Amino acid sequence: MTTEIPELIEAASVAEWSDEFDVVVAGFGIAGGCAAVEAAAAGARVLVLERGGVAGGTTALAGGHFYLGGGTAVQRATGHEDSPEEMAKYLTAVARDPEPEKIHAYCAGSVEHFEWLEGLGFEFERSYYPEKAVIQPGTEGLMYTGNEKVWPYREKATPAPRGHKVPVPGDTQGAALVIEKLVRRAAELGVTVRYETGVTNLIADADGRVVGVRWKHGRDTGALRARSVVLATGGFVMNADMVAEYVPQLAAKPFVLGTTHDDGLGIRLGLSAGAQAKHMDQAFITAPVYPPARLLTGIIVNREGRRFVAEDSYHARTSAYALEQPGAVAYLIVDSEHMERPAIPLVPFIDGWETIAEMAAALNIPEAALRTTLERYNTHAARGEDPDFHKAAEWLEPQDTGPWAAFDLTLGTALYAGFTLGGLRTSVDAEVLRDNGTPVPGLYAAGACAANIAQDGKGYASGTQLGEGSFFGRRAGRHAVARA
């Protein structure tokens, strides 16, 4: 792989154009598919260039959560009140560098976007999954997928579940159903899709406006003229050089989530046209400690025997804090009353011990510190309190009945997985922006190659990538036509 920026081709140097379209979209994942469909629905002649042999990209691997709210039909049917204002408060609170205009647009348009997605030909089940899990095991349509009920966010915005799951059982490939519907809708609208064909360069005129792309299919190459270009090529988790430069924490030992085409090409193409990249140091990295949710009544400590996070946090938040501990060493400790073995042990069980002293010795944790931490936690938990990390009362139960067990969250032992969150700076209409905030004319970006609202690993909520990728993909398609 490489961090090399592709050459920006001068339009005047192009001897022959192989074809011309109103909008050319690079990539047919959730963002590119939505951009293509919206542009075509607005009357544009649209071409999608997809490097893979089929549509989907990394989207096709996703479980199928869409982060939506503001009062969707599923929220209403399951008795969960929500509003665009409360949704915006929450997303603002968890963002490292919130972009109010984007957050407001996403939240204000969330119900309409929910209805648009269902209009593709599927329906989110009008049901709620109340347990703490990474994703619903069945087809339940709604669950909490972030830190909405975790302190301090529960005090900054009224909690509401916003993880809307595509009605496919299991924890992977649920989003493939949406891709299937997008492919069908694109065909109905006359979108041209060329598979195993990738964009290699952007083409710009003398004023810096993007007016086309160079493409490659096997040994064949050519130049396409376009009034607007939408980049929707995914993140850069599979580019070892970019990962080492921007998110070295992903290069250490985690299992990366993506396809071979998540190589950062779209970001580098944008940079070639003068774009700015943002949040390139941010990644989603997690080794879930639940389910079973009962384990969250325990305590998570570092190698010094100290707690460092509220155990009821969303799994990526817990993991992000764990990776910041000395040596990236962390353990989940529970007593015999709360011990359950996970069905999928991403965080492996270590052992059980009759005494705290034996456990401390086995884990190489100072006994006095671990004993003090447990005693303080147990004393306050018995009162339904957690003055140190404000864990919600429903997860506060004393861990005072031996023997005790431990699970290993240590990097290199637990199975951490992750993907990148940084990308091209964009406007609320998905225009690619320069350092000074002005747009690169004719160029748009959406999905994992764009920096939208899912920017902080500790604040990420499951469904944000699919939610914002589809939402801002649609905006990219509409705006690309309007400016074409």
Q: Specify the pLDDT at position 14.
A: 97
- Could you read off the pLDDT of 191-211 as tens digits, one per residue? 999 999 999 999 999 999 999
**Residue 367: strand, helix, or coil:** helix
Q: Specify the pLDDT at position 453.
A: 87
Q: Specify the pLDDT at position 172.
A: 63
Domain 288-408 in the same topology as domain 9-62+175-284+417-483 = no
Inter-helix orientation angle 464-483/30-41, to 10°: 30
- Could you read off the pLDDT of 262-314 as tens digits, one per residue? 999 999 999 999 999 999 999 999 999 999 999 999 999 999 999 999 999 99
Q: What is the mean pLDDT of residues 65-83?
A: 98
The amino acid sitting at 61 is L
Q: Is pLDDT of 252 > 80?
A: no
- Tell if the pTM clears 0.85, that is, is over it: yes
Q: Using the structure block, give the residue that is written with the tokens 């064909």.
A: 197
Q: Specify the pLDDT at position 62.
A: 83
Q: Specify the pLDDT at position 186.
A: 98
Q: Containing H/E element for 189?
A: none
The residue among 440, 422, 421 whose CA lies nearest residue 430 is: 440
Q: What is the mean pLDDT of residues 168-196?
A: 90
The rounded distance, in Å, linking the Cα atoms of 469 and 452 is: 9
Q: What are 404's strand-pairing partners? A: 335, 353
Domain spans, the chain = 9-62+175-284+417-483, 65-165, 288-408
The rounded distance, in Å, linking the Cα atoms of 157 and 116 is: 26
- Confirm if 270 and 431 have CB atoms less than 8 A apart: no
Residues 436/102/316/180 CA torsion (nearest 10 deg)? -110
pLDDT-based confidence at residue 343 (cuts at 50, 70, 90): confident
State what percent of residues in the chain have pLDDT above 70.
Answer: 99
- Could you read off the pLDDT of 105-154 as tens digits, one per residue? 999 999 999 999 999 999 999 999 999 999 888 999 999 999 999 999 99
Q: Considering only the top CATH level, what class is 288-408?
A: alpha beta
Q: Specify the pLDDT at position 2.
A: 83
Q: Is pLDDT of 260 > 80?
A: yes
Q: Is pLDDT of 484 > 70?
A: no
Query: Chain-wide mean pLDDT for the chain?
Result: 95
Query: CATH fold of 9-62+175-284+417-483, please?
Result: FAD/NAD(P)-binding domain (3.50.50)
Q: What is the mean pLDDT of residues 3-30?
A: 96
Q: Specify the pLDDT at position 174.
A: 75
CA distances from 444 to 26, 100, 104, 401, 412 (A): 10, 19, 20, 58, 38
The rounded distance, in Å, linking the Cα atoms of 114 and 120 is: 10
